[in-house]
Every structure is written in structure tokens, then in C-alpha cells.
């Protein structure tokens, strides 16, 4: 197989795996109402079930990224898919809220390393020049997977119940690993690293964790992901309980925002390179501001139609913010520490996955089933991302980007 065609095969497989990941993850959001009924869960307890995955997922990001740099992305990808698929299947065997919490916590540990390993592999096969476009294109899989999920999960739930749903989607993941393994053989990194290079890597770790610029990106990822994780987790239940939509209708309504988000994510890399060359921070500023406005409009909506319309627009702009943040960040980190750096950034994004569903569940309980306070909470969260994006220094970003491009070119 030619090198060029092989890299697109690898990209396609990684993209499909990301879609499967989000189908597995979305299954809990769609099933939580049925699970809550069987186990007698309150909204706060349901929020904890949705959130427990993200706390382990968030804290495994940095170790997972480090493992990707240490062992090689292919090895980590296979281990991650096998683990999350196994715990997806085990979710269907849960017998109490305690067992459910333990299984979902372990599910987060299994899934955690995949994002950094996947993006590291993508960066490696496409090189620095195409890194931002490849990153944004890969991240569009998050929304494609989330859009497909209700169309797969809801019919299985209707026909066989929520337990069988988790068994089926877990088996899909295990089947994929077999295909991936024989198509892209996992090769352990075995580079001889001299003492000087080891010291450089130690220095890079120090620079990653002490850089004000890096932590600004982390805060932006956290703020925009609060909307992402909050709506992903609670919108199906909101539509079922507050808007009285049936499960069949959910399978048609829930994908619409994700389709819009997929379009936004896929196009963000091209938009950034075409219209925001050397001033990339402004695409993050503009899109995060528009996300804030449209989340607020969704909060103010009185009809189901307006809720869906503003949700679709919100997802479009939040996905541009999200993928642009990751794409721009990818331009200021070196390939040697790509997995570790992405792990740090993804920690901020995934920590929001723990905070948002749990906080929204408590707010729904406190306000007697009303979702208004929960949606307003998301408005303030994304506003933080907008404010921090204004403080990004374009000159500093461009200087760092040029320096890394020269380094990567020389290494190549």
C-alpha cells in the first residue's frame, strides 16, 4: 500500500473508532431515564452516574498522553478500545447504582487515553503543515458519532431494552479492534534516546505545566466543554421529561445539533487557515461569543421548535470554538510531547464532563424539575471561555508556532 493512501486508511480507521467511542458514550445519556426508573434514581443521582465517567476520564488524560508518547500511539489505541468496549458491555450487567458507578468509573479509565493517542497518531502521519486541518477533521468525528448514536441506540432500546443496548455497542468496539489490529499493526516505539534528549523532554514537561498560555487554552477548553458535556448529557432527558417527547422522536431530534456541530468542526480548520491566518485567536473569540449568545437564547426559549433551533445553532458555533482551540493548540506543541500536551488540554475539557452533568442534575432537583437554572449555568460557563480567549496573545502564539515549525521541519 502506498504511503499516502495508507495514511488515509489509518485516518479513516481512527475516525471510525472515535465515532464508536461517542456511540458508546451517548448510550448512557439516552438510557439514563430508563435506568433511573429501574434503579429509582433522583436527578442528582442520575447526574452522578453521567458524571462519574468524566472524573476518571479527565484524570487519565495526562497519564494516557504520556503513555502514548512512551509506548507508541497504536498500542495505546488498541488497549483503550478494548477496555472501553468491555466496560460498555459490563454496564448492561449492572445491578445497583453502586455497581453502575464503579463500572462507569472504569469505563472512563479505559476510554481516557484514546483521544491523545488518536490525535498524536493523526499529527504524526500528516505532519506539521497539515496538523491543524487534520486535527479539526478528526475532531468532527465526535459529532458524527454523537449524531449516529441515537439512530443506533434508540431502536435497540425500544426493541430489546437498555441492557441489551450496552451489550451490542460493546461488541461493535471489540469487532473494530480486530480490524484495526490487522490493518495497522501496533508497533512499540523503540527509539534510543540519549541523555541530552531526555533532558529536553523533562524541560518540555516543565514548560507545558508552567506555561500561562497552555493554561489559558485549558480554561477555554473547560468553558466550552461545559456546554458540550452538559447538553450532551441532559438534552435527551430534558426532551423526554420537560418537553414530553417520546423515545422514537428522540432518535430524530437529538442528531440534528450534532450534524450542525460536525459541519462546524470539519470546516473550522479550513476557516482558520483561509480567513484567520496569524490571527487564529479571533475565530475562538468570535465563535465563543456567538455560543454564549445562542445558549442564552435557548435558555429563553418558550417553544420546542425554538429550543431545537437555538440548540442546533449553539452546537455549530461551540464545535468551531472547540476544534479551533485544539487546532491552534496543536500548532504550538512539538511532536515528541504531542500526546502529553494534548492530555493536559483534554484534562480541562473532560473535567467539564464531570462538573457539568452533576451540577445540572443538582440544579434541576433544587428548582423542582425546572431546567432554566441548569441552562443559565451553561451560559456563564461558556462566557468564561470567551473572556479568557480575549487574553490570548497572537504575537506570542505566532512566534512559538514558527519556532516549532522550523524544529519539526529540521527533524523531518
Contact 24, 76 (CB under 8 A): no
Q: Are 17 and 145 in contact (CB under 8 A)?
A: no
Rounded Cα–Cα distance for residues 261 and 147 (Å): 9
Tell me what pLDDT residue 197 has.
Answer: 41
pLDDT of residue 380: 92
Q: Which residues contact 107 (CB under 8 A, 6 or more apart)?
A: 53, 56, 84, 87, 88, 91
Angle subtended at Cα 80 by Cα 77 and Cα 85, rounded to the nearest 5 degrees: 125
| Distance in angstroms (rounded) separating the CA atoms of residues 40 and 45 | 9
373, HSE (Cβ side, Cα atoms, 13 Å): 12
- Show the CA angle centred on residue 239, arms to residues 97 and 352, nearest 5°: 60
DSSP 242: T
Handedness of CA 251, 256, 354, 13 (dihedral sign): positive
Taking the alpha carbons at both ends of the chain, their separation in whole angstroms is: 22
Q: Answer whether 72's CB lies under 8 Å from 64's CB.
A: no
- Radius of gyration (C-alpha) of the chain in whole angstroms: 20
Q: Give pLDDT, residue 253.
A: 66
Q: Could you report the per-residue pLDDT of 343-354, keeping only the tens digit for each?
A: 788 888 778 877
Alpha helices in 184-337 (DSSP H): 195-210, 212-241, 247-253, 255-275, 281-300, 304-330
Question: Which stretches in the chain have pLDDT values below 70?
Answer: 1-5, 128, 185-211, 245-254, 407-412
Q: What is the value of pTM for the model shown?
A: 0.72
The DSSP symbol for 333 reads S
Residues 30/248, Cβ–Cβ less than 8 Å? no
Fold type of domain 3-186+204-411: Growth Hormone; Chain: A; (1.20.1250)
Tell me the CA distances in angstroms from 162 to 28, 36, 158, 241, 409, one per residue in order.
9, 11, 8, 18, 51
Taking phi over 0 as left and psi of -120 to 50 as alpha, with beta for the rest, 245 belongs to beta
Work out whether the CA dihedral 327, 329, 334, 335 comes out positive or negative.
negative
Query: Residue 321: how many CB atoms within 10 A of its CB?
Result: 33
Amino acid at each position: 500500500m502506498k504511503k499516502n493512501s495508507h495514511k488515509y486508511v489509518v485516518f479513516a480507521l481512527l475516525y471510525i473508532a472515535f465515532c464508536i467511542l461517542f456511540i458508546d458514550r451517548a448510550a448512557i445519556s439516552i438510557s439514563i431515564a430508563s435506568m433511573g426508573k429501574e434503579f429509582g434514581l433522583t436527578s442528582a443521582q442520575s447526574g452522578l452516574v453521567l458524571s462519574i465517567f468524566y472524573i476518571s476520564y479527565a484524570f487519565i488524560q495526562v497519564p494516557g498522553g504520556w503513555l502514548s508518547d512512551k509506548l507508541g500511539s497504536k498500542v495505546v489505541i488498541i488497549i483503550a478500545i478494548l477496555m472501553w468496549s468491555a466496560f460498555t458491555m459490563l454496564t448492561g450487567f449492572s445491578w445497583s447504582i453502586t455497581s453502575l458507578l464503579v463500572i462507569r468509573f472504569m469505563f472512563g479509565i479505559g476510554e481516557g487515553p484514546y483521544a491523545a493517542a488518536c490525535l498524536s497518531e493523526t499529527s504524526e502521519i500528516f505532519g506539521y503543515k497539515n496538523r491543524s486541518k487534520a486535527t479539526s477533521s478528526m475532531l468532527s468525528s465526535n459529532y458524527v458519532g454523537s449524531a449516529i448514536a441515537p439512530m443506533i441506540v434508540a431502536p435497540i432500546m425500544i426493541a430489546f431494552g437498555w441492557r441489551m443496548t450496552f451489550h451490542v455497542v460493546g461488541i461493535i468496539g471489540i469487532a473494530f479492534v480486530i480490524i484495526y489490529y490487522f490493518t495497522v499493526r501496533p508497533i512499540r516505539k523503540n527509539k534510543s534516546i540519549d541523555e541530552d534528549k531526555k533532558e529536553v523532554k523533562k524541560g518540555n514537561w516543565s514548560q507545558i505545566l508552567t506555561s500561562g498560555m497552555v493554561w489559558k487554552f485549558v480554561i477555554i477548553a473547560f468553558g466550552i466543554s461545559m456546554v458540550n458535556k452538559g447538553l450532551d448529557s441532559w438534552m435527551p432527558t430534558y426532551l423526554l421529561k420537560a418537553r414530553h417527547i417520546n423515545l422514537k422522536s428522540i432518535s430524530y431530534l437529538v442528531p440534528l445539533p450534532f450534524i450542525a456541530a460536525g459541519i462546524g468542526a470539519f470546516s473550522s480548520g479550513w476557516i482558520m487557515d483561509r480567513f484567520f491566518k496569524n490571527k487564529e485567536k479571533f475565530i475562538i473569540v468570535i465563535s465563543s461569543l456567538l455560543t454564549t449568545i445562542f445558549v442564552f437564547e435557548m435558555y429563553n426559549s418558550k417553544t420546542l421548535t425554538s429550543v431545537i433551533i437555538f440548540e442546533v445553532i449553539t452546537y455549530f458555533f461551540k464545535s468551531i470554538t472547540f476544534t479551533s482551540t485544539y487546532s491552534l493548540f496543536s500548532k504550538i506543541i512539538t511532536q515528541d510531547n504531542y500526546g502529553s500536551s494534548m492530555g493536559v488540554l483534554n484534562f480541562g475539557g473532560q473535567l467539564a464532563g464531570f462538573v457539568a452533568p452533576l451540577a445540572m442534575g443538582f440544579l434541576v432537583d433544587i428548582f423542582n424539575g425546572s431546567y432554566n437554572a441548569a441552562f443559565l449555568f451553561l451560559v456563564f460557563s461558556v462566557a468564561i471561555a470567551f473572556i479568557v480567549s480575549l487574553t490570548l496573545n497572537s504575537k506570542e502564539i505566532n512566534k512559538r508556532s514558527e519556532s516549532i515549525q522550523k524544529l519539526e521541519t529540521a527533524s523531518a
